[in-house]
Structure 1
Amino acid sequence: MKPNAYDGWCATCAVAVPAGSGRLTGAFGSRQVVCLAHVPVAPERGQHDGWFRLPLASLDFETTGVDPHADRVVSYALLGPHGEDVVGLVDPGVEVPAAASAVHGLTADTLRGAPASYEAVSAIAEWVQTLADAGVGLVVYNAAYDLTMLRAECERWGVLQPDWSRLLVVDPLVVDWGLHRGTLGSRTLGIACEYYGVRIADAHDARCDAVAAREVAVEIGARHREVGEVTLEALVHHQRGWFGERADDWNAYARRAGRRVEDRAGWPLAVPLPQLV
């Protein structure tokens, strides 16, 4: 949960909460402040078994921007289910905007001499396909961004797409929303790590983010029996539904606020919705 940017009063106990000393909770368009004594905490781990005890892979990209259809991958982390991890830099063949470099620290100089996009994207797509073939769960935090970007990169460079229909994606962002219905406020990876007790060593480093995302997924499964005990196939089905419901919530707010709406069917791969801009 994000700290409160302004002075307020705790929604639970009505104590004064100076700016920065509390947390924001609540769904889109209805945020409220709580003092630290009333910040929601994650439940304890259970003794149940489930997908979270299986070997899981994890993927994360650092990129040139926030548009998964147009921006480019500049670094990647492919964490295998048995410790066979691959990380690398990518020369995207385009400028890296200063705003993106400010986030992940990668510049044109850093990327000079790295493999070109075609080579890197080919290897990434092949790796993803091996997971689909093996039925291994792939953790991707905000999968609709990273996987949509991978699809766009494959299309851009003529690389064979993975069989997306067989990929067992675990998206902690979506599962967390399904559990809490957005009532805990903003859920960046860093905020989710804080809530679930996961240490993130270096945010916006692809490997560190991929490690943290997988650990958050495991903690969600371990602490919430209702999602931890289902099969990965069932979890994928649930995530599609939760993403759609989350989009409905966002879109109701977005239309009031004049913001861009989301495609409720856009998980784990987003599609453009020009008619709804």
Structure 2
Amino acid sequence: MQQHWYTGPLASFDTETTGVDVETDRIVSAALVVQLTPGAPARTATWLADPGVPIPEGARAIHGISDERVRAQGRPARTVVAELARALAEQARAGRPVVVMNAPYDLTLLDRELRRHRAVSLAEALGPQELLIIDPRVLDKHVDRYRKGRRTLTDLCAHYGVELAGAHDAAADATASLELVRAIGSRYPAALGGLSVAELHLRQAIWHAAQARGLQNWFDRSGTPERVDVSWPLRPARCGCGRRLSPEHSCEVAA
């Protein structure tokens, strides 16, 4: 019997942060969950970081992590982000796909934290092995494009019948995201089951770009000034002039 990617080993990564701006906000907590087969016990690793800046009240209200807690129990952000990169690199070396709900947020924020604290990009920290990502938000929008309603993790879990125990806890969100992609794959085997993980990774970049362009067109028609980034699973870093940064952190000059 052929094994599909959604019945094989998966890891899942999630963060809780000081806010929603990937360029300036900081990681407060993170979790990595690994499950080898559906229904099998999962291994969970968690991190608590002292972000080095006050946690805004709005963020505290969402994830419940206070300044006092991170100062007493958290470890330096420089240490935590390096460990997160090593944990993801381990998944890449194992060839194990990593589930990340709304990947351009979590992965871009980790990339900026690594640049801030370690002077390396996420790609540099991961090394030569490619990190293969599965994003339930992208998958759901692809297989059920015209369904109305919100598509947050809570909404998607309710739609696919996945338990989400303790939303906005990194370990709970990572676990639910992992179960969610298994549920999406199982519900849409004709659309998703025949793809290898590498093919799925590449397809998601294309699907996300199309989804982002559609949203941008809607914003433009409605007169909303918001801009939508088409990059997936990581938004490119830019220097002060607005150009993308190369892997050597220098400014790319257009030919």
Q: Where on the TM-score scale, by shorter chain, does this alignment land: which range?
A: 0.7 to 0.9
Query: CA deviation digits over 1:47-71, x for unaligned, max 9?
Result: 9741001110000000000011210
Out of 172, 175, 193, which is 2:157 matched to?
193
User: What's the CA shift for 1:145?
Assistant: 0.3
Task: Name which of structure 1's ranges 58-67 and 255-264 shifts more when overlaid on structure 2.
Answer: 255-264
Taking structure 1 as the reference length, the TM-score comes to 0.78
**1:223 pairs with 2:187:** yes
Is residue 225 of structure 2 the alignment partner of residue 259 of structure 1?
yes
Q: Match for residue 53 of structure 1? A: 7
Aligned pair partner of 1:67 in 21, 44, 48: 21
Higher Cα Rg, which structure: 1
Gaps of 5+ in 1: 1-46
1:268 to 233, 242, 249: 233
What residue number does 1:31 align with?
none
| Aligned residue type for 1:251 | Q
- Quote how far apart the aligned CAs of 1:191 are: 0.3
Partner of 2:251: none
2:130 corresponds, among 163, 166, 170, to 166
Please say if 1:232 is aligned against 2:174: no
Could you say which residue in structure 1 is the equivalent of 2:115?
155
Distance 1:248 1:195 in 2: 25
Answer yes or no: is the 8 Å Cα contact 1:220–1:228 preserved in 2: no
- List aligned pairs for 1:1-277, cutoff 5 A: 49-82=3-36, 83-113=42-72, 114-158=74-118, 159=120, 161-163=125-127, 166-225=130-189, 226-256=191-221, 257-264=223-230, 266-271=231-236
User: C-alpha distance in 2, partners of 1:215/1:252?
Assistant: 32
Cα RMSD for the two superposed structures: 1.9
TM-score (norm 2): 0.84
Q: 3-state SS of the aligned residue for 2:125?
A: coil
1:182 shift after superposition: 4.7
SS of residue paired to 1:76: strand
Partner of 1:245, secondary structure, is helix
SS of structure 2 residue aligned to 1:52: helix
How has the CA–CA distance of structure 1 residues 123 and 109 changed in structure 2, closer, same or farther, with 3 Å as cutoff? same
**Conserved? CA contact 1:132–1:166, under 8 Å:** yes
The AA in structure 1 aligned to 2:21 is D
- Percent identity over the alignment? 36
Q: 1:214 to 1:164 in 2, by over 3 A?
A: farther
| 2:93–2:129 Cα contact (<8 Å) kept | no
Q: Structure 2 vs 1, CA of residues 78 and 164 (structure 1 numbering), >3 Å: closer, same or farther?
A: farther
Aligned letter for 1:57?
Answer: A
The answer for unaligned runs of 5 or more in structure 2 is 37-41, 243-255
Corresponding residue pairs, total: 228
Structure 1 Cα separation of the partners of residues 233 and 133 of structure 2: 8
Whether contact under 8 Å (1:74, 1:89) holds in the other structure is: yes
Aligned partner of 1:38 in structure 2 is: none
